[in-house]
Amino acid sequence: MFDLDSATLSRMLTALTLGYHAIFATLGVGIPVMISIAEFIGIKKKDPHYTLLARRWTRGFTITVAVGVVTGTAIGLQLSLLWPSFMQLAGKVIALPLFMETFAFFFEAIFLGIYLYTWDRFKNPMYHWLLSIPVVIGSTLSAFFITSVNGFLNTPQGFELEGDTVTSIQPLAAMFNPATPTKVFHVVSTSYLTAAAVLATIAAIYLLKKKNTLYHMKALKLTVVSVFIFAIATAIAGDLSAKFLAEEQPEKLAAGEWHFETEEGADLVVFGTLNENQEVENAIRIPNALSFLAHGDFNAEVTGLDQIPDDEEPPLWIHYMFDLMVSIGFFTLGISLMYMVFWKVKKWNEYHPLLLWGIASLGPLSMAAVEFGWVFAELGRQPWILRGFMTVSEGATTSPYVGWMLILFIGLYTVLSIGCIIALRKIFKGNPAEHELEHRYPEVAAAK
């Protein structure tokens, strides 16, 4: 592997780190929302089951935060180590949101600490619930700031380039670049969705193991209804993202959709394969749907790859990333809708094992969709690191030690994963929800 050049190794290490960080960052953004909702419902309904959900989710959450901080710091480190020329060019322009992310993180961490240690300390539990709000705001702001940095790579603005020097820096213009609104909307909605889906998976697995306690049934109801709502938000955000691409990054959309010729009334190509002549085979074609996805009009013209210089074409295999992501999105919407229909129609059993298996699949599938989404968005920007200004190979380090760093970080992530699993098992295995319910709320446990 040391035969690979340092630019390739740098890309591998960055992809590994981002892919790994994305798991914890996504949960870190989404779980506080679920905690806050559960605690609120618990207070309003005077139902300790929901309060216990909030308590137990919070404990798991602290572990994911801890790992998120380590991997996030690894990204910060790698940005300057692996992409020195890029950071020299862009670092100053984008310093504001990069710094603000750290600020948002500290804001979140401080309130999370207070939240953790003040359960049952207030006469009015609403005061404790209020403390969850800054945690939600802090983690969502993290996503906002860091996603605006990613938006900047795709649609850079807010500076001028005179030779090699950057002048007239406008930090706010850089932060609020054209990619920011749709990206932030899609990243936040998918983070909420994925967190709800992962928690739904856990509830469904307990029910499949025949632990049909009220606690897990309520957990399932709350999480699957949340999945449905966030899946709708995700679909709206995804649609807006595609419309954004059509305007600002047509090469990414064209590569993702295998749209070779610029034309009006363009079909949407779903899955399929390419033959030697770059012709699409075995695909499902939805007539005029690409025009609608791109411009909200079934007859609109969609820019194809024929308009893009050959050396600026993103890799064509990102098509599968897009299709898998979208398929998972619709599957998630379908399963969560089915659950709600089965729940409302009295004769039907919303705890049917097949439906529970469907729900159990949503957590891993959503997390996979997050990864596919990032791969699509990041490789769709190739060959650019900063679109229109600098290519990835220009931005990379020439250091001969990247291969060793790669091995080192693979080791670090392995250790982190094992530590995370051990910690989560310690927290939950030794202390099942049923025991904790009996211990904390004996009246409820006895009544069930």
State the residues that interact with ligand HEB by CB under 6 A: 21, 24-26, 28-29, 64-65, 68-69, 72-73, 75-76, 79, 101-102, 105, 139, 142-143, 146-147, 149-150, 154, 179, 183, 186-187, 190-191, 193-194, 234-235, 238-239, 241-242, 244-245, 252, 325-326, 328-329, 366, 369-370, 373-374, 376-377, 380
Question: Smallest distance from the beta carbon of 70 to ligand HEB, in angstroms?
Answer: 8
Asked if the bond preceding 383 is cis, omega within 30° of 0, the reply is yes
CB of 415 to ligand HEB, least distance (A): 18
In sequence order, which residues have a C-beta less than 8 Å from that of residue 190 and are 6 or more positions away?
26, 230, 234, 237, 366, 369, 370, 373
In the complex with ligand HEB, which residue's Cβ is closer, 106 or 122?
106
Q: How far is the CB of 287 from ligand HEB (least distance, A)?
A: 18
Give the Cα separation of 94 and 267 in Å (integer): 38
**DSSP annotation string for 199-210:** HHHHHHHHHHTT
For ligand HEB, give the closer residue by CB, 242 or 445. 242
Nearest-approach distance from CB 296 to ligand HEB, in angstroms:
13
Output the smallest distance, CB 348 to ligand HEB, in A: 26
346-to-66, 342, 358 alpha-carbon distances in Å: 43, 7, 20
Nearer to ligand HEB (CB atom), residue 51 or residue 234 = 234
On whether the CB atoms of residues 100 and 107 are closer than 8 A, the answer is: no
Cβ closest to ligand HEB, residue 131 vs residue 437: 131
Q: For helices 95-117 and 132-154, give the axis angle rounded to 10 degrees.
A: 160
Q: Which is nearer to ligand HEB, 146 or 207 (CB)?
A: 146
Q: Which is nearer to ligand HEB, 219 or 318 (CB)?
A: 318
For the bound state, the minimum distance from the C-beta of residue 116 to ligand HEB, rounded and expressed in Å, comes to 13
Of 28 and 215, nearer to ligand HEB (C-beta) is 28
Distances (CA, A) of 343 to 80, 220, 261, 281, 347: 52, 11, 47, 42, 9
> Comparing C-alpha atoms, which of 148, 183, 150, 196 is closest to residue 367?
196
SS3 category, 308: coil
Indicate the residue among 182 and 216 with the shorter CB distance to ligand HEB: 182
Report yes or no: 184 and 234 within 8 Å, Cβ to Cβ.
Answer: no
Q: Minimum distance from CB of 443 to ligand HEB (Å)? A: 35
Q: Is 304 exposed, middle or buried (0-12, 13-18, 19+ CB in 10 A)?
A: buried
Cβ 180 to ligand HEB shortest distance, Å? 10
User: CA separation (Å) from 284 to 268, 376, 440?
Assistant: 8, 20, 55
